[in-house]
Amino acid sequence: MEIFAEFLSKIDNGEHRTRIEEVLTWIGDKYSNLEPVVKWNQPMFTDHGTYIIGFSVAKKHFAVAPEQVAMTRFTKEIEEAGYEYTKELIRFKWDKPTNYELLEKLIDFNISDKADCTTFWRK
């Protein structure tokens, strides 16, 4: 996705760059109704102007941030998948497969739960 090109170009590790690009492309293809945007130097996807999911990269992982409501809703699934997490994000280790099923659940939940949301973040 062209909108993420600058973000991706700043990832020095080619394997990490390819991996996060695959995740972003998967979301763009599966959820063509979502708008890909870059805010605060991070790639994210929005729906009718409201935040759905965002990403950041670190040396040992990429982080997925679906907002705290989704984190709380899916804590059991996150733990069962073996991910480290905080109240705001999940750490997807570079050396482990991406759990697309979990990503789909987080995204679907946020799209549904925020269908009537008129703000970027939940209040």
Q: Does residue 41 fall inside a structural domain?
A: yes
Amino acid at 3: I
Q: What is the pTM of this model?
A: 0.96
d(CA 77, CA 82): 9
Do residues 105 and 30 touch, judged by C-beta distance below 8 A?
A: no
Task: Give Cβ neighbours of residue 57 (< 8 Å, ≥ 6 apart).
Answer: 11, 16, 20, 63
Evaluate whether residue 121 is within a structural domain: no
The pLDDT value recorded for residue 3 is: 96
Does the pLDDT at position 1 exceed 80? no
Q: How many domains does the chain have?
A: 1
User: How does pLDDT run across 67-100, given as a tens digit for each residue?
Assistant: 999 999 999 999 999 999 999 999 999 999 999 9
Here the CATH number for the domain that contains residue 63 is 3.90.1150.200
The model's confidence at residue 55, banded by pLDDT at 50, 70 and 90, is: very high
